[in-house]
Structure formats: C-alpha cells, structure tokens
Chains A and B, each alone.
Chain A
C-alpha cells in the first residue's frame, strides 16, 4: 500500500468561482494525525469538504488513496425533527459496509452498542433525536464516525459544544484510531490541545501558511501571519495569477520515498 494517503496538487477550492482555499500542495502521510488550524473563514471546512468529495476542485487535484472515508462535518444537515432514534442515526455508519440492502448482523449490533458506550451514550439507544442535547448529539455523531471503521477520518471541529470530560474521552479515541494506523485530519481552534495531542499541523489562511511538525508550525511568526488574510469576498477581485508555490525540499525521512512529486506546503 502507498505510504501517502492524500496528495494535494496546487489545489484550489471555492464557491461560485471565488477561491476559499488556493494553492494548496502537499501530502498527508498514511497513519498521520494532523490538526488543521486557522482563523474563521480561513478555509478549513472547505478543505474538508474537498477531501470528502462534496466540493469539486476549481483547479488542481487531490490524489486520494484510502479504503473508506468518514467525515464528521462542522454543521450537519441532520433533521432533528425526523422520527428516528439514536441507534437509527448511528447505524447510518454501517452504510459503507452494508450498503442499501445488506443485513445488519448481530455482531454489527454489538459493535454499535460498543461505539455508543465509547462516547458515553449507553442508555440513550432508543432516545429520539429531538430529545438530545447539543453535546449528546455531537457524541452520537462521533459514535457513527467510529462505526464507519474508516481509514481516513475527517473531523471538523468535533469538540463543538462538548464538555471537558467528553473531550478527554474523545481525544483518547482519536489517539487510539491513530495508533490503529488510521489517517486523521481534525479541525480545531484550541491551540493547547493541538500542541499536546497532534503531532502534525496544517495552518491555514485561505492558503497554507505552514504545514509540518506541530512544534515547527505553531510558532508566533506563523500564527501572526495566519491572522492577516482577506476574509471577505471581493466581488471585483481579479483572477488569481499567483504562481503555484515552489517545491520545498522534502524532509529527510521523506527522501526515502521513491515518488518525486511529494510536496510540502510552501511558507507563503
């Protein structure tokens, strides 16, 4: 199996031709645990949508090599008034395995209950969705993500509205997933958490400001550079003529790879 899970090649993503993320190049190693950090509107969620295949690139490309993807969006589209129980929502996570018609087996159910227990929702199995608190809902979605048993996991601000104890439990889960060799991209705003739990960091400000080992990325210089970027759309903005960022020399361990296309994000 290839050792890279994702490769961005001068990727531009956006809405109605306005770029929200542009000139992103680089690789996400298989089994890496990466925090995606940046100010509001810096394009983190846009990048997640792009990787999940919900948003098509305006230009550039994403080379993806994964078996199964799980995506926990920042804002879900869930209709909370829909007559469904917690297990109905969570068992949507079987889709990739069981598809349209496959039967949910007894061992599947056991796994489902284990996932609910792991996020602390035992006893909530048959509660209706509209009776859940915001944080409980988020935990149910986390359980679904877990159930998907994906090797590439995208988490967009998963700790929204979640209390401290649960954050600790969920972080332990994320840690465990990483140890199992899954590739994880996680958007979050809490810099302390990033520094203590995430080995890799991608710092965004519509384009990548820095990407690499967390200690190298989360420097005061980078952080202040990431704070200044144009957040609002300019209807009269001209076409972006910026050249694709130059290739940076690969870190030593990466030189072992035979593929010469692997890129690191430019420090722009």
Chain B
C-alpha cells in the first residue's frame, strides 16, 4: 500500500514535478472557485476556460509549444472576454451571463479555427487537454507565481470580496472599491485558468477550480472554512488522480478531475448539508 502510494513520486522526477505543480494549482484555484460559486458565477469559469483558447492558439501558432507565449496569449484574450462582457452588461440591460456567453462563443470559434488552420490534431489535443506530466521548470515557476499572486490578492481584498458578494448595494454606499474588486477577481479567475491549462488543458483546468469548491459547500457554512475544505479536496484529488494515472496508465488531467468529481458526488450525498442529511425525515424536534 505504502509502496503504491509513495514509490511513483520517489522514483520518477516527472511525477515529482507533476505532484508539485498540481498541488500548487490546487491551493490557488480552489479558493477562487469558492468565490465564483458564491457569486453564482460557477459557469463563468467554464466559459472563460473556453475563451482563453484563441489566445493560447495564437501563442502556439507563432511560437510553437512554448509556455510563455501561450500563457500571455491566453491571459490577454481571457481578460478581453471578461472585461468586454462586463462592459456590455454594465451599460445595457443585458445581464452578465448572457454577454459572457456571446463573447466566449465567439472566442471559442476563433480559437478552434486558429488551431485547425495550422497544426495537427495532436497539437490541438495538447492545447485542449494539456499534460501535467510534461511540466517543465518554466511552467512550474508560472504556476507558483500565479499562486502567490492569488493568495496575496485574496488576502488583501478578502473583506471587499465578501462584502461585494454579500451586499453589493451596501458596499456601493460606503466605498468605491466594488467595481475594481470585481475586475481584480476576474483577473484572478483568468490567471488561474491560464495557470491550469498547461497542466490540465483549457477544458479541464476549470475542473480543479469548480469541483472542489462546489463540493465544499456541502460541508460548511463559513467562507474561510469553505476555502480550506475546497483546497483539501483539490489536493486529495490531485494526489489521487496522479496515482491513478500512473498505475492505470490514464491521462493525468482527466484522472485528477475524475477524482474531484467523485469527491463532489460523495459530498453531495453524504455531506453535512448534503442530500441525505436534508432528505432524511426526523420525527423529533428541539424545544428552542
């Protein structure tokens, strides 16, 4: 058992890097996912992960499979989509989810066109599904940097983020920080998705962000605790997924997200605020 759990990471350098990368990513993505969920923007992460595709594709077309150009491309396009849809919804009757849908679909189509224009389907597979097993130093440094930025930003703007989710009208009456906080938060979302897509691909990087976050909601009713629980679930999923991919020769990205998915289903059923806990009839009640 110990052998099965530990030896892959002791014996192989690439497994160590994969572990380090996905753990750092877990710690950074999960709290961002918690705030996405609390702002009812769970699907925004998904839309954004599609939206960064053309940016990554342009970087890829110009420079080949290089981390920095693809990352910067993804970042720029992701921010354009996020700010563009925010802009349209702010000045028209259209709600943010609708304009987000429009923008990300345009972006996705452009991305797929770009990738298919020059490049084999193998390359497309790499952009879409990434590989945590092929993380080089550059990619690890990037993920680490993003995690540090995320933690600093969350730490500094925590109060504003919570206030903006809980009572935006109140925040507007006492401070102008609401708008900038929202933008900063979108930047964090894009950063973390871009950090994740090296390892997990654009389609799955959102999984490590949302699944642990959504699962955590079944266990607690406190924002700090939610972040902690989400990080724990993400870390366990990364570990489990890597082991699974090693022993069962599965692709690593989907394996990690699969484990997170199992954690979600388990939480939904057995969590303190899960289906069973709320559905089981109780014939007794307290007096006060």
Query: Which residues of A approach B to under 8 Å, CB–CB?
Result: 52-54, 69-71, 73, 76-79, 82-85, 88-89, 92, 95-96, 99-101, 128, 144, 148
Contacts and interface: CB of A to CB of B under 8 A. Distances in A.
Contacts of B175: 95-96, 99
Interface stretch (B43-51, B130-138, B196-204, B221-229): B221-229
Contact of B173 (A54, A88, A99, A128): A54
B157 interface: yes
A70 B174 CA distance: 8
B222 A83 contact: yes
Given A100-B159, A100-B160, A128-B221, A82 B173 contact: no
Given A52-B173, A53-B173, A82-B38, A92 B167 contact: yes
Given A54-B173, A92-B170, A100-B177, A79 B165 contact: yes
Interface of B: 38, 156-157, 159-160, 162-163, 165-175, 177, 217, 220-223, 226
Nearest to A128: B221
Nearest to A154: B173
A84 B220 CA distance: 11
A195 B197 CA distance: 66
B13 to A, nearest CB: 41
A84 B156 contact: no
A78 B167 contact: yes
Given A78-B167, A100-B177, A54 B156 contact: no
A233 to B, nearest CB: 16
B40 to A, nearest CB: 8
B163 A92 contact: yes
Contacts of A84: 162, 166, 223
Nearest to B38: A82
Contacts of A78: 166-167, 170
Contacts of A83: 38, 217, 220-223, 226
Nearest to A54: B172
Contacts of B177: 100
Given A73-B173, A76-B167, 15 more contacts: A54-B172, A69-B174, A73-B169, A77-B169, A78-B170, A83-B217, A83-B221, A83-B223, A83-B226, A84-B223, A88-B166, A95-B174, A99-B175, A100-B159, A148-B174
B258 to A, nearest CB: 27
Shortest 4 CB-CB distances between A and B: which pairs?
A: A77-B169, A71-B173, A83-B221, A95-B174
Contacts of B38: 79, 82-83
13 contacts: A54-B169, A71-B170, A71-B173, A77-B170, A79-B166, A82-B166, A83-B38, A88-B162, A95-B159, A95-B174, A100-B156, A144-B170, A148-B174
A56 B177 CA distance: 18
A38 to B, nearest CB: 22
Q: Which of A84, A99, A144 has the most CB of B within 10 A?
A: A84
Nearest to B217: A83
A85 B159 CA distance: 14
Contacts of B166: 78-79, 82, 84, 88-89, 92
Nearest to B157: A100
Contacts of B157: 100
